[in-house]
Amino acid sequence: MDAVPRALELNDIVAKYPSGEPRALLHLLQDIQTAQGYLSREAIGAAAQHLGVTETRAFQIATFYKAFHLRPRGRQTLRICTGTSCHIRGAMVLADEVHKTLGAGPGETTADGAFSIELVNCVGACALAPVLLVDGEMLGNVHPGTVARRLKRAGEAP
């Protein structure tokens, strides 16, 4: 998305909230991220100005809550579940394998912009542990030896 529509979109989202209402800060930032995938410097500034809080406070919220990203994201998000059940069934071995296969580790985005990789705390599919989520689609019982193949298939899917 180029800069102009993005800025327009940002204005639309911000305008949905009453101005000067600091309470809405968390929700507004969540809405911006849902629409734009991350919180840009401009987005944080616009949210802060609209709700009448300092930019520092908006930045504090944006960095405290893990749901927020301050950098643009890959086209797909690859989440590796590290809940207890996945952990004892080898989630960290899987995370190492993903790192090796895609060349990017947790918190990073692959060089080609295809995947952003995240570790998450339990997605509630413990029966299928260890679990990967590719853009919300769940891959269960993923083993280190097969992860490369399954990621390739998931990456090719529309």
Partner 1 sequence: MKLTSIDMLAQRREALVQRAAALAHEVRVCAGTACVAAGAGKLSDAIQREAAAKGLVLAVDGDAPDAEATVRLVNTGCQGLCQAGPLVRVLPQDAFYCGVRPKQAARLVSEALQNNAVIADWCAVSPQGQRYATRAEVPFYRHQQAIALEGCGAVAPESLDDYIAHGGFAALVRALEMPPEDIVQTVEDAGLRGRGGGGFSTGRKWRIAASASASERYVICNGDEGDPGAFMDCAIMEGDPFRIIEGMAIAARAIGAQQGFIYVRHEYPKAVARLDKTIVACRKAGLLGAGILGAGFDFDVEIARGGGAFVCGESTALMRSIEGQVGEPRANYIRSVQEGLYGQPTVLNNVETFACVPAIIERGAAWFAATGTPGSSGTKAFCLVGKVAHTGLIEVPMGTTLRQVIFDIGGGVLDGRPFKAVQTGGPSGGCLGEAQLDLPVDFDALTAAGSMMGSGGMIVMDDRTCMVDVAHYYLSFLQSESCGRCVPCREGVAQLCHLLDTMRRGTAKPGDLDRAIRLAQDIAQASLCSLGKSAPNPFLSAVTHFRAEFEAHINDRTCSAGVCRDLTVFAIDAQACTGCGLCAPACPADAIAGAPKQVHAIDAQKCTGCGACRTVCRDDAVRALPRNLPCN
Which CB atom, from 7 or from 26, has the smaller least distance to partner 1? 26
Using CB atoms within 10 Å of the CB of residue 137, give its burial: 0 to 12 exposed, 13 to 18 middle, 19+ buried. exposed
Q: Please report the beta strands in 12-131, taking only residues with DSSP state E, as ranges in sequence order.
A: 76-81, 115-120
Q: CB of 43 within 8 A of CB of 70?
A: no
Region from 5-13, 42-50, 102-110, 145-153 binding partner 1, contact rule CB under 8 A: 145-153
Note whether 88 binds partner 1 by CB under 8 A: yes
Asked if 15 interacts with partner 1 (CB under 8 A), we say: no
Is 142 an interacting residue with respect to partner 1 (CB under 8 A)? no
Among the listed ranges 3-11, 102-110, 121-129, 150-158, the one in contact with partner 1 (CB under 8 A) is 121-129
CB of 126 to partner 1, least distance (A): 4
Do residues 117 and 98 make contact, with C-beta atoms less than 8 angstroms apart?
Answer: yes
Distances (CA, A) of 56 to 45, 47, 49, 71, 73: 9, 11, 11, 17, 23
Cross-strand pairs, 77: 116
Q: Collapse the DSSP code of 75 into the 3-class scheme (helix H, G, I; strand E, B; otherwise coil) and give the result.
A: coil
Is residue 19 part of the contact set for partner 1 (CB under 8 A)? no
Of residues 16, 18, 65, 105, which one binds partner 1 by CB under 8 A?
65
| By CB under 8 A, residue 85 contacts partner 1 | yes
Contact footprint for partner 1 (CB under 8 A): 22-27, 30, 60-61, 64-68, 82-85, 87-90, 93, 96-97, 100, 120-129, 136, 138, 140, 143-148
